[in-house]
């Protein structure tokens, strides 16, 4: 059951300083590209921001505001990108995003979940993927002679996006094979990671799915889960520990590829790739990917947490491996956008079902920023960011998936 | 009259449907109380988001016609940014967010209310210019800082307080008239705060900002200074461990500890006489300890040691135009410190300052004081001569221990800062104190302590917290009644 009282300290600590909405001074850039909260940037009202959502949570908690469809709509239009959380935690000990998650859960339990989210949840429960496509088609693209290592304790987890972008999965396969990594593919046993469920507040279905997946990993002796999907990565690390004890390690393909490159097991082609690229940090690979550490205790006077709490402030997301890989590609010039790493601007895709105009505006804003940084190419490694950022518009930027790019740039002798 | 459907439609016609709301959830985003105040805010009838001065003027005319109350705001950090009566609308100036001009020759920036410090500050730094950033965080509005608050700030030693930096101003009166002050009145641009005829500066700001002012400022020009020391700032790290470095050849930070308030103030005055240092301040040790730790728990682990190491830290930032100038200032600094009995504190603390320069970074980190639950209040926040501020700081011992030793307020009895301005010709003070918001009597303790502080001020003939002092307040009231 949702319990907003668990977040009373956060809700009642907010001084409305507004730091949840604006770039931190450590990344200050100029007049442009200074906002970090996509919904506040678009809708302008303070209710559309971390600060405003804490206020809403407070009134719901105290019973002075009723649940309602409009509230659910606002909550789910927020992309839950976590920029507010990181900004607040730059100087405070507060759980802004977890309060927003709890409020979503509270609303869902009160019967207010937007129709598009209900549909997604139904798809995951019935078909084990977010799109509602037949489960048996999940790996239908694999060639008949595809061989993995069924005894391996490492699994390559494809994620639901494999329905739309099987080429990313195949690129990951190519990288792992080139590096000599033994891995297995779950095929019909692979179900959705559950990110969309727990993030939307459907805790019951999420728990069932996460317990199922974790138990399956345990039975199969899986010790390492590798994925090329930022959403799955973030879910395994920051979502699963909310429900179960996990006995497996999660790695993103960029981390694995970098390790292989450093160990000399992977070599990149010496052919130059003459592009100027910027890297877009997906929220779930960056600031939201820190491992969730459950905490229960008491907040005493003047903020003393007993027992001590391990804070997730966004500092230890996967920021450098993708950049180091890109820097290793001959000819590729890497430039940075003003809003990068823990201050990355969300692509907006997570709200495309709620308000397509807002999602489009946010994606365009990110492409504008990429263009202004001097890039002709945006590289990222999230299938949802890809849907938002791989667009034809005035900025004339090509989008490249990092996993596919690295696979394409493998030296031929390694490939063979 | 009260807020009606007709009123709403009129406002909507001005700003457009997208920029007005009376939805219950939108309104709830702007009425929550903050932890430092003991009362709840009223709910506004509607929130409107004008996009231009003309729209603000039209909104004011509607407010006048329908006898509506209005509150204009940008960040909503202060309790004054909320409705306190029925039939009030909130005018959120976020959309008016352009930097209209940065004039490098006449050295001013012309901004609208919605521009934030994190937007303006880097823009002026790029041009080798700077301004005093008040301690409000990156999302604070420069225009609000310069027109609506007292504005004492951490770099006022080598500069001054915002009152002196405010130039031309555009203000919409409650009648909806657009008033332009300073050189603007004579169509001579934004560069000067005064023009022929009676000064209108006091109408806009006076000493303490918006206390008593009416109307809404929609544009203002802020005077800029040339950057002292290196203009370029190197940034690195990931939050919460961002760091900013300045060229060590031109920029150095020194932190000294003192055991006597009079000695600190003597050092401040001596440095000022020699015009040494870009910023000098007797800093408060509680925020410093909070800024240097990552969590409330880490703070609690280290606070005992911090209190012993630097109960009275004097922070001096030297920012020079050349290495030779820096070395010259350092020699004088060390002489002054030796003569006044200061001691260097552990290098680790100086290093922290060096890694967090410049002051925009420092003042944004200052939000860390809210980490202990958010219940805080400034006291003795006024300005006088440096010696009077020294006397004010010394007077605190006379009443604070009744509160710190009994746990009524946080145990940081030496937590008063003194920041000289204009090389020590004036100084401002701030006794920042906190109380336990879990304690049902917390607010009562806060009020009791504030009263005791005011009583001490009266006994010593200092300014009261009213900013003006009782006697002057009476004179002003009499003159203007």
Question: Which tokens sit at A218?
Answer: 């345990």
In a shared domain, residues B199 and B253:
no
Beta-sheet pairing, A276-279 with A333-335: parallel
In a shared domain, residues B42 and B166:
no
pLDDT in tens, A385-394: 999 999 988 9
CA B239 – CA B196 distance, rounded (Å): 50
**Residue B71: domain span:** 5-92
Name the A residues in 8-47 with CB < 8 Å from any B CB. 9, 12-19, 21-31, 34, 44-47
**Which residues in chain B are contacts of A78 at CB distance < 8 A?**
none
CA B105 – CA B469 distance, rounded (Å): 40
pLDDT in tens, B25-58: 999 999 998 888 888 899 999 999 999 999 999 9
A411/chain B closest Cα distance in angstroms = 33
CA A172 – CA B142 distance, rounded (Å): 49
Q: Which of B56, B31, B50 lies closest to B41 in space, CA to CA?
A: B31
Q: How far is CA A287 from CA A292, A325, A346, A365, in A?
A: 12, 19, 11, 20
In a shared domain, residues B235 and B367:
yes
In a shared domain, residues B263 and B353:
yes
In a shared domain, residues B333 and B268:
yes
A138/chain B closest Cα distance in angstroms = 38
Query: Among partner residues A15, A71, A93, which is closest to B295 by beta-carbon distance?
Result: A93
In a shared domain, residues B205 and B263:
no
Say yes or no: A307 contacts chain B, CB-CB below 8 A.
Answer: no
The per-residue pLDDT of chain B, averaged, comes to: 89
Query: Among partner residues A15, A44, A52, which is closest to B370 by beta-carbon distance?
Result: A15
CA A193 – CA A200 distance, rounded (Å): 14
Quick check: A15 and B19 CB within 8 A? no
In a shared domain, residues B214 and B271:
no
For position A124, what pLDDT does the model report? 98
Q: Outline where DSSP puts E strands in A123-246.
A: 154-157, 224-227
CA A27 – CA A86 distance, rounded (Å): 13
Domains identified in chain B, total number = 4
**Which residues in chain A are contacts of B294 at CB distance < 8 A?**
311
Please list the residues that pair with B69 across neighbouring strands.
B88
For position B298, what pLDDT does the model report? 97
State which of B349, B371, B393 marks the end of a domain.
B371
State which of B226, B245, B278 marks the end of a domain.
B226
In a shared domain, residues B378 and B361:
no
In a shared domain, residues B216 and B111:
yes
pLDDT interval class at B205 (50, 70, 90): low
pLDDT in tens, B54-78: 999 999 999 999 999 999 999 888 8
pLDDT in tens, A325-348: 999 999 999 999 999 999 999 999
Query: What is the C-alpha end-to-end distance of chain A, expressed in Å?
Result: 54
Average pLDDT for B407-413: 95
In a shared domain, residues B317 and B423:
no
Cβ-contact B92, B46 below 8 angstroms: no
In a shared domain, residues B56 and B13:
yes
For position B22, what pLDDT does the model report? 98
pLDDT interval class at B346 (50, 70, 90): confident
Tokens 């980190």 -> residue: B365
CATH number at residue B14: 3.30.43.10
For position B161, what pLDDT does the model report? 82
CATH number at residue B414: 3.30.300
Peptide bond into B240 cis (omega under 30): yes
Question: Which tokens sit at B87?
Answer: 């039939």
DSSP characters over B131-148? ----SS-TTS-HHHHHHT
In a shared domain, residues B33 and B77:
yes
Question: Which tokens sit at A67?
Answer: 């649940």
Phi, psi of B169, rounded to the nearest 5 degrees: -135, 140
Quick check: B30 and A47 CB within 8 A? yes
**For chain A, which residues score pLDDT lower than 70?**
413-416
Record the pTM.
0.95
CATH number at residue B171: 3.30.465.10
CA B73 – CA B92 distance, rounded (Å): 5
Beta-sheet pairing, A377-380 with A398-401: parallel
For position A416, what pLDDT does the model report? 43
Question: Which tokens sit at B448?
Answer: 């009791």
Tokens 């020391």 -> residue: B229
CATH number at residue B277: 3.30.70.3450
Say yes or no: B371 contacts chain A, CB-CB below 8 A.
Answer: yes
Q: Within 10 A of A327 (CB to CB), how many other CB atoms are there?
A: 12
Quick check: A90 and B239 CB within 8 A? yes
State which of B61, B77, B92 marks the end of a domain.
B92
Query: Residue B246: pLDDT above 90?
Result: no
Query: Residue B198: pLDDT above 80?
Result: no
**Which residues in chain A are contacts of B47 at CB distance < 8 A?**
45
């Amino acid at each position: 059951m949702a319990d907003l009282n668990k977040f009373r300290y956060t809700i009642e600590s907010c001084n409305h300083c507004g730091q949840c909405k604006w770039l931190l001074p450590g990344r200050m850039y100029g007049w442009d590209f200074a906002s970090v909260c996509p919904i506040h940037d678009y809708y302008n009202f303070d209710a559309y921001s971390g600060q405003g959502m804490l206020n809403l949570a407070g009134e719901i908690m105290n019973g002075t505001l009723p649940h309602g469809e409009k509230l659910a709509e606002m909550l789910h239009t927020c992309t839950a990108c976590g920029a507010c959380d990181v900004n607040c935690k730059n100087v405070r000990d507060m759980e802004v995003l977890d309060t927003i998650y709890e409020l979503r859960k509270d609303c869902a339990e009160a019967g207010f979940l937007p129709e598009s989210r209900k549909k997604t949840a139904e798809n995951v429960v019935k078909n084990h993927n977010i799109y509602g496509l037949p489960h048996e088609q999940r790996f239908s693209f694999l060639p008949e002679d595809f061989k993995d290592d069924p005894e391996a304790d490492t699994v390559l987890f494809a994620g639901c996006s494999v329905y739309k972008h099987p080429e990313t999965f195949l690129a990951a396969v190519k990288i792992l094979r080139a590096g000599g990594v033994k891995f297995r593919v779950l095929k019909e046993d692979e179900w959705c990671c559950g990110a969309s469920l727990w993030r939307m507040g459907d805790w019951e279905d999420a728990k069932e799915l996460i317990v199922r997946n974790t138990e399956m990993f345990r039975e199969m002796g899986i010790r390492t889960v590798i994925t090329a999907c930022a959403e799955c990565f973030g879910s395994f690390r920051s979502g699963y520990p909310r429900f179960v004890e996990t006995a497996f390690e999660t790695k993103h393909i960029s981390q694995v590829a970098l390790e292989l490159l450093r160990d000399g097991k992977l070599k990149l082609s010496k052919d130059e790739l003459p592009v100027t690229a910027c890297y877009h940090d997906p929220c779930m690979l960056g600031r939201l990917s820190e491992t969730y550490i459950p905490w229960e205790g008491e907040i005493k006077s003047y903020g003393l947490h007993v027992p001590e709490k391990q804070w997730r402030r966004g500092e230890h997301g996967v920021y450098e491996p993708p950049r180091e890989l890109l820097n290793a590609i001959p000819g590729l010039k890497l430039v940075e956008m003003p809003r990068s790493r823990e201050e990355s601007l969300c692509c907006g895709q997570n709200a495309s079902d709620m308000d397509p105009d807002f999602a489009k505006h946010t994606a365009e804003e990110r492409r504008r920023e990429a263009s202004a940084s001097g890039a002709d190419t945006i590289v990222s490694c999230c299938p949802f960011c890809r849907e938002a950022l791989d667009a034809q518009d005035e900025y004339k930027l090509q989008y490249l998936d990092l996993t596919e790019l690295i696979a394409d740039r493998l030296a031929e002798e390694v490939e063979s | 009259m009260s807020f009606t459907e007709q009123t709403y439609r009129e406002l909507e016609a001005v700003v457009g449907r997208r920029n007005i709301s009376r939805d219950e959830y939108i309104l709830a985003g702007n009425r929550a109380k903050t932890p430092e105040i003991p009362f709840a805010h009223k709910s506004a009838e509607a929130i409107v988001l004008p996009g231009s001065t003309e729209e603000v003027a039209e909104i004011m005319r509607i407010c006048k016609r329908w006898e509506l109350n209005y509150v204009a705001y940008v960040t909503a950090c202060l309790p004054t940014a909320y409705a306190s009566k029925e039939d009030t609308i909130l005018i959120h100036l976020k959309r008016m967010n352009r930097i209209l001009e940065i004039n490098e020759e006449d050295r001013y920036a012309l901004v609208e209310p919605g521009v934030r410090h994190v937007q303006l500050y880097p823009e002026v730094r790029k041009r080798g210019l700077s301004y005093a950033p008040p301690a409000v965080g990156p999302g604070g509005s420069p225009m609000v800082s310069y027109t609506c608050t007292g504005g004492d700030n951490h770099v006022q030693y080598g500069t001054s307080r915002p009152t002196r930096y405010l130039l031309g101003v555009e203000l919409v009166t409650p009648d909806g008239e657009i008033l332009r002050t300073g050189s603007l009145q004579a169509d001579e641009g934004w560069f000067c705060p005064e023009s022929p005829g009676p000064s209108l500066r006091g109408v806009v700001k006076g000493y303490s900002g918006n206390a008593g002012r009416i109307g809404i400022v929609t544009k203002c020009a802020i005077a800029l200074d040339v950057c002292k020391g290196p203009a370029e700032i190197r940034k690195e790290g990931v939050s919460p461990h961002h760091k900013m470095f300045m060229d060590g050849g031109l920029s150095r930070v020194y932190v000294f500890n003192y055991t006597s308030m009079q000695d600190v103030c003597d050092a401040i005055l001596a440095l000022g006489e020699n015009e040494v240092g870009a910023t000098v301040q007797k800093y408060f040790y509680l925020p410093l300890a909070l800024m240097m730790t990552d969590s409330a728990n880490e703070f609690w682990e280290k606070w005992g040691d911090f209190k012993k190491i630097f109960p009275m830290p004097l922070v001096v930032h030297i920012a020079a135009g050349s290495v030779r100038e820096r070395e010259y200032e350092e020699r004088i600094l060390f002489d002054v410190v030796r003569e006044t009995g200061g001691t260097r504190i552990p290098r680790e603390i100086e290093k922290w300052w060096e890694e967090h320069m410049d002051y925009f970074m420092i003042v944004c980190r200052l939000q860390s004081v809210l980490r202990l639950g958010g219940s805080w209040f400034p006291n003795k926040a006024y300005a006088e001569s440096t010696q009077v501020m020294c006397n004010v700081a010394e007077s605190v011992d006379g009443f604070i221990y009744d509160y710190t030793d009994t746990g009524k307020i946080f145990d940081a009895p030496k937590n008063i800062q003194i920041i000289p301005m204009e090389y020590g010709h004036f100084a401002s003070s701030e006794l920042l104190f906190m109380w336990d918001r879990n304690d049902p009597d917390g607010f009562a303790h806060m009020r009791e302590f504030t009263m005791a502080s005011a009583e001490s001020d009266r006994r010593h003939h200092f300014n009261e917290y009213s900013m003006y002092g009782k006697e002057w307040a009476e004179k002003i009231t009499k003159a203007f009644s």
